[in-house]
Homo-oligomer: A and B are copies of this chain.
Amino acid sequence: MARSGPLPIDPIAEAKRQWIAHGWTDAAAGMSAVTSIVRAQQLMFARIDAILRPFGLSFARFEMLRLLAFTRQGRLPMASAIARLQVHPTSVTNTVDRLVKDGLVVREPHPVDRRAAVLVLTDSGRELVERATEALNTEMFERPGLSDDDTAELVRIIARFRRDAGDFTDPRPTPDPL
């Protein structure tokens, strides 16, 4: 994300002004919200990439290692990982291929379904994900660039959006962001 310094005007406020000027008044707020999410994701990913690059990890690879490290024995069937990470199976396969190549994860045959696979975290995978988690916590998650109130409200709003989009069915998650 090369940047040539801040713009004098807010480009999203300017886009909203244009939307209203063109008579698309009913769509202006939704356009602003979608564009805001896209831009926030770009800004956050630029920081995440910079933090994870020294570890040789992308955010997708970090998420997979973190998920495995949270399990009791550092192992999870591939299908469970796909469901939990809510990503396309093809992209999980690419993520896993890279983790295996780097010696952070091994694929074992599933004990029951021989066509399925179980992912197992290696010792070096566990060591790397703990260091990467600490870096993300210290350098980003403890100071995400939002006030505490804004952080909590953002999570609540997006949780309602995700629930209505079909991300999860639990009416009262714990801890409850809704």
Residue A115 lies at the interface, judged by CB distance under 8 Å to chain B: no
Interface size class of A (residues with CB under 8 A): 35 or more
Which residue in B12, B133, B137, B157 is a CB contact (below 8 Å) of A159? B12
Per-residue B-contact encoding for A135-167, CB less than 8 Å = 1, 0 else: 011101111111110111111011111111111
Residue A16 lies at the interface, judged by CB distance under 8 Å to chain B: yes
Contact, CB under 8 Å: B41 / A41: yes
A89 to B1, CA, bound (A): 9
Contact, CB under 8 Å: A161 / B146: yes
Segment from A32-40, A97-105, A120-128 that makes contact with B: A32-40
Contact, CB under 8 Å: B151 / A33: yes
Q: Which applies to chain A's interface (DSSP): helix, strand, loop or mixed? A: helix
Contact, CB under 8 Å: A84 / B37: no
Beyond A6-B168, A169-B6, A170-B10, is A141–B36 a contact (Cβ under 8 Å)?
no
Contact, CB under 8 Å: B43 / A13: no
Residue A118 lies at the interface, judged by CB distance under 8 Å to chain B: no
Which residue in B18, B42, B48, B147 is a CB contact (below 8 Å) of A70? B18
Residue A175 lies at the interface, judged by CB distance under 8 Å to chain B: yes
In this complex, which of A10, A42, A164 has the most chain B Cβ atoms within 10 angstroms of its Cβ?
A10
Q: A11-B86, A13-B174 are in contact. List 20 more A-B contacts (CB 8 A).
A: A1-B86, A1-B87, A2-B89, A3-B166, A6-B169, A7-B169, A8-B168, A11-B84, A12-B162, A24-B141, A27-B137, A29-B144, A31-B136, A33-B155, A34-B48, A36-B158, A36-B159, A39-B162, A40-B158, A146-B160
